[in-house]
Structure 1
Amino acid sequence: MEPVLVLVGFLGAGKTTLLKRLLLEAQQADWDPYVILNDYEHAELDARQLAGQLSEGALKPLDGSCICCSGITALRDSINRIPQRKQGITLIEANGTSDACRLMGFLGVGLDTRFKPPVQIAVVDAKNWQRRGEHNLLEANQVQVSSLIVLTHTKDLSEARIQTVKDELHQVNPHATILRVNELALWQLPELSPVSGSFDAFEHQKSHWSSCSVALPALPDEASIKALCERIPKTILRVKGCTQIGTSSDYTYFERCPDGAVSIRPFKGEPVTGSKLLVVGPGSDPGKLNEIVTQVLAAQ
């Protein structure tokens, strides 16, 4: 039977980075992975970054809905249509506001019998765990039914902080194994079992933040990208985009991390959506984004 692994976690916790690493390990171990990506806006952007690690037809982006509620049927249908493979493994990355308990409750019903019961893996940013203010409840909800909790962003943290995070996570979910990301290996995952039991009710609609995207013209340099990200209000929890720099025909991908740092890297190929700026969070507004873009370009 084929394992089905669901990656959940707050916006910017490091789900996609972990997914890339697991795909590399899967190839080295002769697994045949299939990936489903869920995002509010243009999941194709992240999908393009993974395309080079997968065989043709082994990647399905799902955007415009949340897979724990309105998008659950599309997710379940996508899984059931996955071609049967020797040494197959399915990896699903949920969007950063998913109600992880609700997702697992719905996803476990109606899958083809050739799949194992889905197992959830929570990715937790140890630096920012339960420092999300009004969003702490959502972050805690995302670990309640996880079989494995993976700690990221631990590099510069004290051992005391890491132990505090582990203790708090054990209180929320006493059944999960907790590992730092460098302690995790792909071979451990197919042996995980789903976590069962009761969990706290969560009003998920509160976390259905607005999202939007706007066309993004070519920017003069990387400094312009950083200026753009700095001007976007901190109430926006997720910022990412893809554009061209100067006269280059190549595309550049960027994102603003939870701590405000901006990550910039080459984009593989050409985005099917064209150059875009995407945001998720309270107050997302296309008019405001276009105004910020205009201000950054005028300042050059």
Structure 2
Amino acid sequence: MSDKIPVTVLTGYLGAGKTTLLNRILSEPHGQKFAVVVNEFGEVGIDNELVVGADEEVFEMNNGCICCTVRGDLIRIIDGLMKRKGQFDAIIVETTGLADPAPVAQTFFMDEDVAEKTRLDAVVTVADAKWLTERLKDAPEAKNQIAFADVIILNKTDLVTPEELAAVEGRIRAINPYATIHRTQRAAVDIADVLGRNAFDLERVLEIEPAFLEEGHHHHHDEDMQSVSITIPGEVDPARFMPWVNELVQREGPNILRSKGILAFKDEPKRFVFQGVHMILDGNLTQDWKAGEKRTSKIVFIGRNLDRDSLRKGFLACAA
């Protein structure tokens, strides 16, 4: 993992403050160099003009949303960047405000060359404290951006009352109980809270917040967005689990925005960590279970119209 280039996907609805955050990242004296990929909807690029030109080269993809027509562009740009490895420390992809981040994230698993050379560090969503509640009613993309985030920058907090701020944070938590939230004005946030998070690594999330997958978390739910977490207090049989989870995401993939898990496989000293984006699953064996550590298996699903009982029954049937 260590020699893979980290990629941060910066998303958020139109006008939330993504470009402000990006400019802040690029102009702070952190000593790092970034390759920036900016995508906006429409043939004429404006975002490019708005991004400060520290030393960074901005690669622009126009006329199409990053999550549909220009995924090929993204793969080509990353491919080109890899030929200049060593000239930058990380990649930042700023999506159009109308993008669903899921297909963007999928690119980093689906394309073999991209997956071999880069790793998705985190999906960072900028949310507008004043308008988010309205957007959640009429813009499915806004809801997906919140559901999919590892880190949420709740911006423009100076434009709302403390009560309104608490209410909008409640809406965010109902959709995504797991993301870290930072309240900001003009996207003023410590760069370390946004970059180098390893937030897409469930292992690390659990180190920071051991209760991340605990029962009880899943009582948060939005009208149509849910999270379901299930724990087996023991080992899982891979011969049962693999076919079950593969069949599940093929069937329910469109409804499952994110899936993650840490499993203790029978007769396997290492822990198996997996994560998924819709129908794409990626997993591998990581570090050993420590001596005396309780071998438990936990998974979480975030998505729409999830059948909690069926998921629970299916996973529990995989117990060794």
TM-score, with length taken from structure 2: 0.57
- Pick closer, same or farther for the CA change 1:78–1:87 going to 2, 3 Å: closer
Residue of structure 1 in register with 2:303 after alignment: 200
Contact 1:24 1:53 in 2 (8 A): yes
Pick 1 or 2: higher relative contact order, CA cutoff 8 A, min separation 6.
1
2:32, 2:99 → 1: CA distance? 27
- Structure 1 residue 72 and structure 2 residue 71: aligned? yes
Find the counterpart in structure 2 of residue 268 from structure 1. none
Other-structure match for 1:18: 21
Runs (4+) of structure 1 exceeding 4 A deviation are none
Separation in structure 2 between the aligned mates of residue 106 and residue 135 of structure 1, nearest angstrom: 27
* Aligned residue identity for 2:75: R
User: Aligned equivalents of 2:136 and 2:171: distance in 1?
Assistant: 16
Counterpart in the other structure of 2:189: 184
**Structure-2 residue corresponding to 1:59:** 58
1:90-169 alignment, distance < 5 Å? 90-110=91-111, 111-132=114-135, 135-169=138-172
The residue that corresponds to 1:30 in the other structure is: 31
SS in structure 2 opposite 1:7?
Answer: strand
Contact 1:37 1:43 in 2 (8 A): no
2:34–2:91: 8 Å Cα contact kept in structure 1? yes
Q: Which amino acid aligns with 2:123?
A: Q
| Counterparts of 2:50 and 2:30, CA distance in 1 | 21
- The 1-side partners of 2:119 and 2:44 are apart by 26
Number of matched pairs: 198
Deviation of 1:10 after TM superposition, in Å, equals 0.8
Q: Per the alignment, in what secondary structure is the counterpart of residue 131 of structure 1? A: helix
CA shift, 1:118, in A, is 4.5
- The amino acid across from 1:161 in the alignment is E
Give the alignment's TM-score, normalised by structure 1: 0.60
Q: What displacement does 1:176 show? A: 0.4
1:39 corresponds to which residue? 40
Which residue identity does 1:170 align to in structure 2? R
What is the distance in 2 between the residues matched to 1:192 and 1:126? 26
In the TM superposition, residue 81 of structure 1 has moved relative to its aligned partner by: 1.4
The answer to whether the 8 A contact 2:124-2:153 is kept is: yes
Q: CA RMSD in A?
A: 2.3
- Contact 1:2–1:114 (CA<8 Å) still a contact in 2? yes
